[in-house]
């Protein structure tokens, strides 16, 4: 089958289904797939719910016109009751466009919202959006820890080679961070079916409050991947498919308060660098 | 700019790109003008048409602004700026290219994207201040949110499209219609719709690849 027509590539960029032949070709053709990706960038930039066709009308506050009159100098004026009548009372919108939900972080979560779709929702009335305080603390703590901590423990754990279920492909010694006496080891084990797990063995007292959570971090701590709750003893976490442990080589264990906030608390108790 | 996104009311011509007749003077005391007449008078600089436009479409515009920013000062600024820019830029409105409310919607999109860009500048300034206050070495200037910058860029490119290309791509992007639905809505043949979509996407692709923030950040 020849390459897809340019028209089909455009429709595919808009995520319209193609005919069976074109769809089959596209699935197996790197060059057509690449072109769809290039066209789709513009689609993804603009098809955000905030820019979609207007849905629910909302009457602006009556005082708003005064600013328009002042800026334009017009002497006519709308009748406030007509403006108010143009918006039905607030209620459910029957045909609001579907709002894409942000997926749960199955893939690396950057510390700062990156240029990804959908646009992160902004707080309604905050002109300045500073770094989240919890995260900036994480950055500081992590930067300090990487200077003093990593390298000491790194590579100190001999790879045990073939494990009972799979092959250890990388390992780290987890060293305590300031104020903590938690220690442990971590290893990445590749199973026969190709999936990989992070096996964490943690020696630590239960935290006074909250729980321990395991993370993979980039070396610069610019990104992190949550893995799950760690208890003392040995725990295994399946790694998200496709994650590159060369890119996320730092195993981090934090204390997380029971506050429902999925972000890193900034309070790490142990950390180590995976080495293959 | 676009006639395609609006419900067909009044005497609006049903076909894309059809040229409407010249504005007819409304005799004093006559019934209120229909939407097309408001559009023509708006373009001609009749101040009363701005008030009419506000009566009819301010809630629609404000609804978009509230959807993007929640109720409050940001949404109110967007609505205000939309009408001020629409009035001062009315020379850019062509009644024969589409109804006024659709054009106001397009102006509102720009104001929303501009507000995102402004917030992004403030975010970077705030972060730079935090870093400076902590006297920490920085990795250089804070990164621009590429998607925010690209939205401003591409909305500008949409403004440069003529009809029916602009209306077609707006139906695909903002009304989430398939090319078959667009063909049905506009009465244009399927093949024509597909080829306009393709050419517009290629144009936007080129604009992003040449000037987009993501590649130059
Ligand atoms: Zn191909």
Across the interface, whether the CB atoms of B56 and A68 are under 8 A apart is answered no
Are the beta carbons of A186 and A239 closer than 8 angstroms? Answer: no
Answer for the pair B83, B61: CB distance below 8 angstroms, yes or no: yes
Among the listed residues B88, B100, B141, the one whose alpha carbon sits nearest the alpha carbon of residue B5: B100
User: In chain A, which residues have their Cβ closer than 8 Å to the Cβ of B197?
Assistant: 7, 10-11, 14
Kindly state whether residues B35 and B84 are assigned to the same domain. yes
**What pLDDT does A89 receive?**
62
Enumerate the β-bridge partners of residue A196: A190
Residue B173 confidence (pLDDT) above 90:
yes
What is the ipTM, given to two decimal places? 0.84
User: Which pLDDT belongs to residue B140?
Assistant: 59
Domain end (from B142, B173, B189): B142
Spatial distance between the Cα atoms of B194 and B199, rounded to a whole number of angstroms: 9
A155-191 per-position pLDDT tens digit: 333 344 444 567 888 888 888 876 788 888 898 888 8
What CATH number does residue B52 fall under? 1.10.1740.10
Q: Is the pLDDT of residue A37 over 80?
A: yes
User: In the listed set B142, B172, B198, which residue is the last one of a domain according to the structure?
Assistant: B142
Please tell me the distance in Å from B55's CA to the nearest CA on chain A.
4
- Comparing CA positions, the residue from A256, A165, A163 lying closest to residue A214 is A256
Distance CA B31, CA A26 (A): 58
Cβ–Cβ < 8 Å for B127, B80: no
- Tell me the C-alpha to C-alpha distance, in Å, between residue A69 and each of A65, B42, B45: 6, 15, 14
Q: pTM to 2 decimals?
A: 0.58
Separation of A35 CA from ligand 1 center, angstroms?
A: 9
The count of C-alpha atoms lying within 13 angstroms of the C-alpha of A188, restricted to the half-sphere facing its C-beta, is 25
Beta partners for A215? A226, A252
> For A54-71, how does the pLDDT look when each residue is reduced to its tens digit (9 = 90+)?
999 999 999 999 999 999
Q: Distance between CA B43 and CA B39 in Å, rounded? A: 6
* Residue B73 located in a structural domain: yes
Chain A residues whose beta carbon lies within 8 Å of the beta carbon of residue B5: 53
A236 — phi, psi (to 5°)?
-120, 140
| Domain co-membership, B149 together with B134 | no
Instruction: Please report the DSSP string for B30-53 in residue order.
Output: PPPP-HHHHHHHHHTT-HHHHHHH
For residue A172, the SS3 value is strand
**B121 and B79 share a domain?**
yes
* Cβ contact A186:A172 at 8 Å: yes
Lowest-confidence segment of A35-39, A98-102, B54-58 by average pLDDT: A98-102
Q: How many domains in chain B?
A: 2
**At B148, is the pLDDT very low, low, confident or very high (cuts 50, 70, 90)?**
very high
Q: Where is mean pLDDT largest: A116-120, A228-232, A251-255, A262-266?
A: A251-255
Each domain of chain A, given as residue ranges in start order, spans 6-46, 134-273
Q: Where does a domain end: B142, B175, B195? A: B142
Q: Which residues contact B115 (CB under 8 A, 6 or more apart)?
A: B68, B69, B74, B77, B78
Instruction: Convert A190-199 to b/e letters by CB count within 10 Å (16 or more is b).
Output: beeeeebbbb
CB A268 within 8 A of CB A252: yes
Q: Are residues B84 and B150 located together in one domain of the fold? A: no
The CA distance from B48 to B101, in Å, is 16
Q: Mind listing the pLDDT tens digit for each residue in A90-135?
A: 544 434 333 333 333 333 333 333 333 333 343 333 333 332 333 3
B24 part of a folded domain: no
Domain span at residue B201 reads 143-217
Kindly report the CATH number assigned to the domain that includes residue B168.
1.10.10.10
Same domain, B88 and B148: no
Clarify whether residues B173 and B101 are in a common domain: no
Taking the domain A134-273, which CATH number applies? 2.60.40
**CB proximity under 8 Å: A 46-85 to B:** 46-61, 64-65, 67-68, 71-72, 74-79, 82-83
Cα gap B76→B93, rounded to integer Å: 23
């Amino acid at each position: 089958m020849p390459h897809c027509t340019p028209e089909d590539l455009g429709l595919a960029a808009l995520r319209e289904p193609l005919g069976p032949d074109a769809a089959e070709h596209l699935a197996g053709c790197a060059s057509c797939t690449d072109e769809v990706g290039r066209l789709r960038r513009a689609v993804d930039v603009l098809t955000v719910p905030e820019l979609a066709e207007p849905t629910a009308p909302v009457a602006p506050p009556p005082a708003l016109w005064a600013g328009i009159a002042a800026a334009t100098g017009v002497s006519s004026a709308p009748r406030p009751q007509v403006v108010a009548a143009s918006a039905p009372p607030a209620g459910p919108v029957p045909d609001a466009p579907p709002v894409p939900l942000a997926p749960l972080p199955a893939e690396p979560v950057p510390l700062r919202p990156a240029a990804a779709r959908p646009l992160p929702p902004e707080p309604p009335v905050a002109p300045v959006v500073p770094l989240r305080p919890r995260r900036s603390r994480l950055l500081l703590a992590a930067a300090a820890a990487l200077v003093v901590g990593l390298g000491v423990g790194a590579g100190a754990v001999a790879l045990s080679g073939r494990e009972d279920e799979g092959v250890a492909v990388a390992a780290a010694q987890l060293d305590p961070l300031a104020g903590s006496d938690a220690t442990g080891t971590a290893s990445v084990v590749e199973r026969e079916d190709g999936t990989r797990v992070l096996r964490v063995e943690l020696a630590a007292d239960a935290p006074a409050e909250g729980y321990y959570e395991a993370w993979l971090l980039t070396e610069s701590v610019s990104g992190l991947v949550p893995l799950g709750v760690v208890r003392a003893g040995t725990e295994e976490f399946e790694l998200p498919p496709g994650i590159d442990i060369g890119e996320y080589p730092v195993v981090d264990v934090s204390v997380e308060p029971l506050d429902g906030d999925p972000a890193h608390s900034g309070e790490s108790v142990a950390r180590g660098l995976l080495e293959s | 700019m676009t006639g395609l996104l609006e419900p067909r009311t009044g005497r609006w011509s049903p076909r894309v790109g059809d040229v409407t007749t010249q504005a007819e003077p409304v005799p004093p005391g006559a019934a209120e003008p229909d939407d097309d007449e408001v559009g023509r008078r708006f373009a001609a600089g009749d101040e009363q048409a701005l008030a009419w436009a506000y009566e009819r479409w301010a809630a629609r515009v404000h609804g978009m602004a509230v959807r993007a920013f929640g109720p409050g000062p940001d949404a109110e600024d967007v609505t205000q700026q939309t009408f001020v820019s629409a009035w001062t830029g009315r020379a850019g409105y062509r009644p024969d290219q589409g109804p006024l409310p659709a054009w106001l919607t397009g102006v509102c999109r720009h104001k929303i994207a501009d507000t995102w860009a402004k917030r992004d500048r403030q975010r970077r300034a705030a972060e730079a201040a935090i870093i400076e206050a902590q006297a920490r070495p920085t990795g250089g200037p804070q990164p621009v949110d590429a998607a925010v910058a690209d939205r401003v860029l591409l909305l500008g490119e949409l403004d440069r499209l003529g009809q029916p290309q602009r209306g077609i791509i707006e139906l695909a992007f903002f009304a989430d219609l398939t090319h078959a639905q667009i063909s049905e809505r506009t009465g244009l043949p399927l093949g024509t719709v597909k080829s306009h979509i393709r050419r517009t996407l290629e144009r936007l692709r080129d604009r992003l690849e040449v000037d987009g923030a993501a590649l130059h950040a």
